[in-house]
Amino acid sequence: MEKYGIFELRLKCESEPNVTFTCGDTAINVKGFRVGDGEYAVRFMPQTEGVWKYGGAADGEFTCAANTGGNHGPVIANGTHFRYADGTQYVPMGTTCYAWIHQTPELIAKTLETLASAPFNKIRMCVFPKHMPFNQNDPELYPFDKKTDGSWDVNRPNERFWVHLETNIGKLRDLGIEADLILFHPYDRWGFADFSTEDCLIYLDYCIRRLSAYRNIWWSLANEYDLIPQRKAEDWDAFGEKILSEDPYRHLTSIHHCLAIYPKRDWMTHCSIQSGFVKRMAEWQKEYNLPVMNDEYGYEGNIEYDWGNLSAFEFVHRAWTVITGGGFVTHGETYYREDEALWWAKGGELYGQSPERLAFLKALQYEIGDVEPYSNTFFGNPNEKPNENIEGADAQQQDFARLFVRVMRSLPEFELRSFMTGFSPSIVRNENYRLQYLGRQCPCRLDVKLPENGKYKVEVIDIWEMTRTVALTEVSGTLQVKLPGKEGVAILVTRTSGEAL
Amino acid sequence: MEKYGIFELRLKCESEPNVTFTCGDTAINVKGFRVGDGEYAVRFMPQTEGVWKYGGAADGEFTCAANTGGNHGPVIANGTHFRYADGTQYVPMGTTCYAWIHQTPELIAKTLETLASAPFNKIRMCVFPKHMPFNQNDPELYPFDKKTDGSWDVNRPNERFWVHLETNIGKLRDLGIEADLILFHPYDRWGFADFSTEDCLIYLDYCIRRLSAYRNIWWSLANEYDLIPQRKAEDWDAFGEKILSEDPYRHLTSIHHCLAIYPKRDWMTHCSIQSGFVKRMAEWQKEYNLPVMNDEYGYEGNIEYDWGNLSAFEFVHRAWTVITGGGFVTHGETYYREDEALWWAKGGELYGQSPERLAFLKALQYEIGDVEPYSNTFFGNPNEKPNENIEGADAQQQDFARLFVRVMRSLPEFELRSFMTGFSPSIVRNENYRLQYLGRQCPCRLDVKLPENGKYKVEVIDIWEMTRTVALTEVSGTLQVKLPGKEGVAILVTRTSGEAL
């Protein structure tokens, strides 16, 4: 038994058992769940090495060894970034297969095969089946049995469904993929969106008991919570608080919206944004002071819906914009197919040109480590006043900056915020690296300002061709860099020695 | 002498002469200007055919014949569109050569040669020279002589300069190009931006006396008025009112901004916008109820400034977005050159890929005639409430629309306006045509809703390849159109018979 693995007890008893696990000063109470007639399971994920004792509905002990191999424990929020519980670096590069577990065994196997060689280390997926265009098929299994009146009985989980779900969550874990599990969504024809608040809480309680020992579980309260009219506003807080109080491991918890971003809450570990306004990442990061993931800024594809017909270049361009705004991205693909097996919903195969380019980007993110958004223009950081003190500006530039900012301050709020957002630069940095993405701007040359006291390397990155070209080495101060004058170029500065970037 | 031509009197007198021109019930008082020692000129543009008599500082008459050839008179605003005074269709497709008249004779000749075969029928140009990056050269001629203290004497115009300016305005006229003459701008090292308000008014008065008889004059009060700190807010209204009261012909008058769009005024005939937010055209058209021209949404080029390094595709894409938002566009080009002869400032030659594509677009605009923005989505027309009644929606779609709009109404103003603007469709139409631009969306197919009672033709336009492909003919009702699944596609519907589009 290794750290972050699942320790499972099977018990014969009359009702749902409680077991308390203790190791040193740590005591964790875990609730079991029914798996068959008079049979219950209790699952526990130890996060401390050593001897764990347990008591309550069952007694015993086990030894928890160090984690090994690709097991780094659950992902946790770390400031505005993520990391694994054991301290290992984790940079999310997600994808979206909403209803992949609701497809045929053949298609599910194909999805797992595709994921095995794809760059994705997180997947957005639903517990409930999804009813949408290109998603008209009924699943083989449903999460609950029905009452005699035809409605779902949340007190009678369908064991086959949950085994199916958790088996696939386990397979994802073994591929190093986090399961960003969507608990509610609006695209329903079966009645799952119609649950009473009470039934929702019973269902959530079951999810927590059954699934929370999987280290790769993330809780996504909803896909597009604001498009589920059956839910009252206070329901979502009740659900978030339920997870906060019941999940022994405090798995990552978020809520995804369509139009109305959910306000900050204690139960929220990060932001799960849906927005084509990809320049706004730093703004939300500042407002929430949490990691911000743009889980849906449109998908690479060619279907008739605006959300599903971005070109591969536009998709990759948006990814770079999000990441150089200090955020994180999730992929999705919606190329039209006669058989309706579109990756975004059903999984299967990938046909697009973005995944290999996201792999390139992800490798770069891992190389440079955690970064924060940075600005040295008028537009400063979003959510702050326009910046009239421009780093390294001469007197004339500084005069102009003051004038410019004075005009900006006279603007109506919408105008000011539009400018602040639209023109905020796409730059992130830490001590050792500074990454600037030029987006669709095509300069053939650019001044790069480096500290005077140090030595730095400047590379020019082509985000589409996936090339890195060293432009300058062992330089400092303000320098002109030659650029290819095309869309999709980034500049990476690496500190060789001296002053931090 | 033909209608909209220039009738000029040269008079010897003691001070600036006044002459009144009458024809039937029309009497127009025209003020003269000094052209040499004791010599004055009076210029008049007749807009009515017949015998004109004049009296005052000089007496006489002349006969005004019908206009001929390419002479259609001045351009005037016509609702939210433009037309020539004689009723002929005019669709502006402008370009920008701020300081072309301040260059060498060779370069000026080259600019005119380039313009002769370019698609542009309007040019943004300055009276004063411009001091900016790539614009460091002094002109040969300045508009005024200097006082002994070194400051400009607005009461002593430099005749050679003004002959030079008006000769080139005349050459533009003969090429069918409107001269959108910029009267003030901030990029100054010579002191023209430092004029007192009184001096500004003397200068404006002179411009009106001297240039207003040119039918192709448009008055642009400023390039980036809000970046001229020497000017008080009330100056601009004084300048606009001066033109309104003194210009006998009511030439088109606008004011161009950097950040702060000028409020609507009586003296304003149209909006001269600077904005990269190309989706906002219909919004401003609604607010101002005037023709809206986006004179500066960035230039095709590769220099180091964000405003001057759009790819040719992005430039053309923005042009289509503006025009299918109900607005009009102005071109500019800033490809880096060692000799610093960048088209946007100095003229010369064009090197870009957008002009031929703007020619294609302009030809289409002339073909389809005046159009108005239209929407059939949630997002409705900007500046209006979200649209919950979707034309042709079934009951389920309509339910969803109501839900969607309910969520939108709960959003903070900035969020709502961002969505309304960002997602407003790019569609314009009139009775006979409907033009929808899909922008960077890449659907491989799309439902097109046509009226049931009529016959229509559907063409697919590739804005980059400049192709028009007939997809459907003699059709009606809702139809699926196959599309190439790439960026830069538009759909043109033409009415063959029956119900208006």
pLDDT tens column, B462-489:
999 999 999 999 999 999 999 999 999 9
Asked whether A267 and A241 are in contact (CB, 8 A), the reply is yes
Determine which of A309, A336, A437 to mutate to test the interface with B (most B C-beta atoms within 10 Å).
Answer: A309
> Which of A236, A278, A306 has the highest number of chain B CBs within 10 A, making it the mutation to test binding with B?
A306
| Preferred mutation among A189, A305, A311 to probe B, highest tally of B CBs within 10 A | A311
C-alpha R_g of chain B: 25
Phi and psi at residue A298, in whole multiples of 5°? 100, 160
Pairwise CB contact (< 8 Å): B403 & A229 = yes
Is A398 an 8 Å CB contact of chain B? no
Contact assessment for residue A51 and residue A63, using Cβ atoms and an 8 Å cutoff = yes
The single-letter DSSP state of residue B225 is G
Of B434, B302, B308, the closest CA to residue B364 belongs to: B434
Residue with tokens 């980036």: B224
pLDDT of res. A383: 66
Nearest Cα of chain B lies from the Cα of A250 at a distance, in angstroms, of 30
Kind and range of the H or E run holding A30: strand A26-31
CB contact under 8 A, A413 and B414: yes
Of A363-377, A410-424, B227-241, B431-445, where does mean pLDDT reach its minimum? Answer: A410-424
Radius of gyration of chain A measured on its C-alpha atoms: 25
Of the candidates A261, A423, A443, which has its C-beta nearest B309's C-beta?
A443
Interface check for B258 against chain A (CB to CB < 8 A): the answer is yes
| A224, burial (CB in 10 Å: exposed 0-12, middle 13-18, buried 19+) | buried
Cβ distance B310 to A411 less than 8 Å, yes or no, reads: no
- Provide, as residue numbers in chain B, all residues whose Cβ is less than 8 Å from the Cβ of A409: none
Report the alpha-carbon angle A367-A369-A375, nearest 5: 115
Query: Would you write out chain A's pLDDT as a tens digit for each of its 501 residues?
Result: 999 999 999 999 999 999 999 999 999 999 999 999 999 999 999 999 999 999 999 999 999 999 999 999 999 999 999 999 999 999 999 999 999 999 999 999 999 999 999 999 999 999 999 999 999 999 999 999 999 999 999 999 999 999 999 999 999 999 999 999 999 999 999 999 999 999 999 999 999 999 999 999 999 999 999 999 999 989 999 999 999 999 999 999 999 999 999 999 999 999 999 999 999 998 899 999 999 999 999 999 999 999 999 999 999 999 999 999 999 999 999 999 999 999 999 999 999 999 999 999 999 999 999 999 998 777 776 667 777 777 777 888 888 888 888 898 899 988 998 888 888 889 999 999 999 999 999 999 999 999 999 999 999 999 999 999 999 999 999 999 999 999 999 999 999 999 999
CA torsion sign for A175, A333, A269, A185 is negative
- Helix, strand, coil shares of chain A, percent, nearest 5, are 25, 30, 40
Q: Which of B343, B307, B300, B335 is nearest to B100 (CA)?
A: B343
Instruction: Report the distance separating Cα A81 and Cα A60, nearest Å.
Output: 38
Which of B 303-322 lie inside 8 A of A, CB atoms? 303-306, 309-311, 314
How open is the CA angle B89-B94-B100, to the nearest 5 degrees?
A: 135
**B229 vs A442: CB contact, 8 Å cut-off?**
no
Query: Which ranges of B156-298 would DSSP assign to H, the alpha helix?
Result: 159-174, 197-211, 233-246, 281-288
Query: What's the whole-number mean pLDDT along residues B367-375?
Result: 95
- Tell me whether B395 touches chain A (CB under 8 Å): no
Specify the pLDDT at position B463: 98
Q: A413-422 and A395-409 are packed helices; what angle lies between their axes, rounded to 10 degrees?
A: 140
- Residue B334 is which amino acid? T
| Cβ–Cβ < 8 Å for B138, B129 | yes
Beta strands per DSSP E along B39-150 = 39-44, 50-56, 60-64, 75-78, 81-84, 93-96, 122-126, 144-146
User: According to the model, what pLDDT value does residue A276 have?
Assistant: 94
Run of H or E including B473: strand B467-475
Q: Tell me the pLDDT of chain B averaged across its residues.
A: 95
Q: What is the mean pLDDT of residues B228-242?
A: 96
Q: Which two tokens stand for residue A73?
A: 């424990």
What is the spatial distance between Cα A434 and Cα A423, in angstroms, rounded to a whole number? Answer: 18
Q: Are A451 and A501 in contact (CB under 8 A)?
A: yes
Give contacts of A417 with chain B, Cβ < 8 Å: 414
> Is there a contact between A414 and B411 if contact means CB atoms under 8 Å apart?
no
The packing angle between helices A159-174 and A197-211, to 10°, is 50
* Cα separation, A179 vs A214, whole angstroms: 9
Number of DSSP helices (H) and strands (E) in chain A, helices first: 10, 29
Looking up tokens 């927590």 gives A208
CA–CA separation, B43 and B56 (whole Å): 14
* CA B146 to each of CA A85, A166, A355, B39, B149: distance values in angstroms, whole numbers, following the listed order: 76, 86, 66, 21, 8
Distance, CA of A351 to CA of B49 (rounded, Å) = 68
Q: Assign B265 to helix, strand or coil.
A: coil
pLDDT value of residue B400: 84
Q: Any idea which residue has 């005699």 for tokens? A: A148
What is the DSSP secondary structure assignment for residue A282, as one 8-state letter? H
The angle, 0 to 180 degrees and rounded to 10, between the axes of the packed helices B312-323 and B354-368 is 20
| 3-state SS, residue B224 | coil
The reported pLDDT for the residue numbered A393 is 77
Q: What is the pLDDT of residue B383?
A: 66
Residue B388 confidence (pLDDT): 77
Q: How many CB atoms lie within 10 A of CB A38?
A: 11
Nearest neighbour of A411 by CB, restricted to B260, B306, B309: B260
Check residue B420 and give its pLDDT.
Answer: 87
Quote the CA–CA distance of A88 and A474 in Å, as a whole number: 31
SS3 state of residue B351: coil
Give the global pTM.
Answer: 0.96
Contacts of A304 in chain B (CB under 8 A): 443-447
* Spatial separation of the C-alpha atoms in residues A428 and A437, rounded to whole Å: 9
Residue A252, amino acid: L
Sign of the Cα pseudo-torsion (A375, A261, B383, B432, in order): positive
